[in-house]
Amino acid sequence: MSARLVIAGFGHALPERIVGNDEVAGMIDTSDAFIRERTGVVARRYLAPDQHLADLACPAAERAMADAGVTAHDVDLLIVNTLSPDHHDPSQACYIQPRLGLREVPCFDIRAQCSGGLYGIEIARHFLASGLYRNVLLVCAEALSRRIDTSNARRNLSILLSDGAAALLLQATDEPARGLVDLTLGADGTRFDLLATEAPGARRPRFIDADDIAAGRHHFRMKGAPMFEDATRRIVDACRQMLDKHRLTIGDIGLVVPHQPNLRILDAVIERLGLPRERCMISVDQLGNMASAAFPVALSLAREQGRMPAGQLNLLVTYGAGATWACALYRS
Q: In 10 A of CB 70, how many CB atoms?
A: 18
Cα distance between residue 251 and residue 255, in whole Å: 10
CA torsion 169-173-175-180 (nearest 10°) is 60
Q: What is the pLDDT of residue 274?
A: 98
**pTM attached to this predicted model:** 0.96
Instruction: Establish whether 239 is a catalytic residue.
Output: no
The letter for the amino acid at 246 is: H
For the chain, give every domain's residue range. 4-173, 179-331
The active-site residue, picked from 58, 107, 114, 280, is 114
Mean pLDDT of the chain: 95
Q: Is the pLDDT at 3 greater than 80, yes or no? A: no
Architecture of the domain made up of 4-173: 3-Layer(aba) Sandwich (3.40)
Please choose, from the candidates 102, 213, 81, 70, the residue with its C-alpha nearest in 3D space to the C-alpha of residue 147: 213
Q: Which of 260, 264, 316, 317 is nearest to 289 (CA)?
A: 260
Model confidence at 79: pLDDT above 60: yes
* pLDDT of 99 higher than 90: yes
pLDDT at 194 over 70: yes
DSSP 161: B
**Average pLDDT rounded to a whole number, residues 227-246:** 97
Is residue 219 within 8 A of residue 154, CB to CB? The reply is yes
Identical fold for domains 4-173 and 179-331, yes or no, is yes
**Region of poorest pLDDT, from 1-5, 31-35, 115-119, 193-197:** 1-5
Q: pLDDT value at position 223? A: 86
Q: Which residues contact 50 (CB under 8 A, 6 or more apart)?
A: none
Instruction: Encode pLDDT of 250-302 as tens digits.
Output: 999 999 999 999 999 999 999 999 999 999 999 999 999 999 999 999 999 99
User: How confident is the model at residue 313, as a pLDDT?
Assistant: 99
At residue 212, the pLDDT reads 87
Say what the pLDDT of residue 1 is. Answer: 46
Q: What topology is assigned to 179-331 in CATH?
A: Peroxisomal Thiolase; Chain A, domain 1 (3.40.47)
* Residue-level pLDDT at 2: 58
Lowest mean pLDDT among 74-83, 148-157, 203-212, 252-261: 148-157
Element (H, E) at 168: strand 163-173
Q: What is the pLDDT of residue 175?
A: 87
Whole-number Å distance between alpha carbons of 323 and 227: 9
CA distance 114 to 85: 14
pLDDT of residue 151: 82
Q: Which amino acid is at 232?
A: T
Which parts of the chain fold into alpha helices (H)?
21-25, 32-39, 54-68, 92-96, 116-129, 155-158, 210-214, 224-245, 263-273, 284-287, 294-304
What confidence tens digit (pLDDT) does each residue in 115-167 have? Answer: 999 999 999 999 999 999 999 999 999 999 999 988 877 778 899 999 999 99
